[in-house]
Structure 1
Amino acid sequence: MTTVNDLKPGETGIVKRHKVKGSLGKHLKEMGLVNGTPIKLERVAPLGYPVEIRIQGFSLALRKEEAESIELE
Structure 2
Amino acid sequence: MESVNTKALSGLQTGEQGQVVRITAKGPVRRRILEMGITPGTEIRVTGTAPLGDPLKVSVKGYHLSLRKKEAACIFVEVV
Tell me whether the two structures share a fold, i.e. TM-score over 0.5. yes
CA-based RMSD of the aligned residues comes to 1.2
Checking the alignment, whether the CA contact within 8 Å between 2:29 and 2:71 is kept in structure 1 is no
Answer yes or no: is 1:7 the counterpart of 2:9: no
Which consecutive unaligned segments of at least 5 residues does structure 2 have?
1-5
Q: Deviations over 1:3-44 (max 9, x none)?
A: 112211111011011122222311221222111100000101
Which consecutive unaligned segments of at least 5 residues does structure 1 have?
none
* Equivalent residue letter for 1:54: S
The whole-number CA distance in structure 1 between the counterparts of 2:68 and 2:32 is 15
TM (norm. structure 1) is 0.88
Corresponding pairs, count: 73
Partner of 1:62: 67
Partner of 2:35: 30
Give structure 1 regions of 4+ aligned residues with deviation exceeding 4 angstroms: none
TM (norm. structure 2) is 0.81
* Equivalent residue letter for 2:36: M
Checking the alignment, whether the CA contact within 8 Å between 2:10 and 2:73 is kept in structure 1 is yes
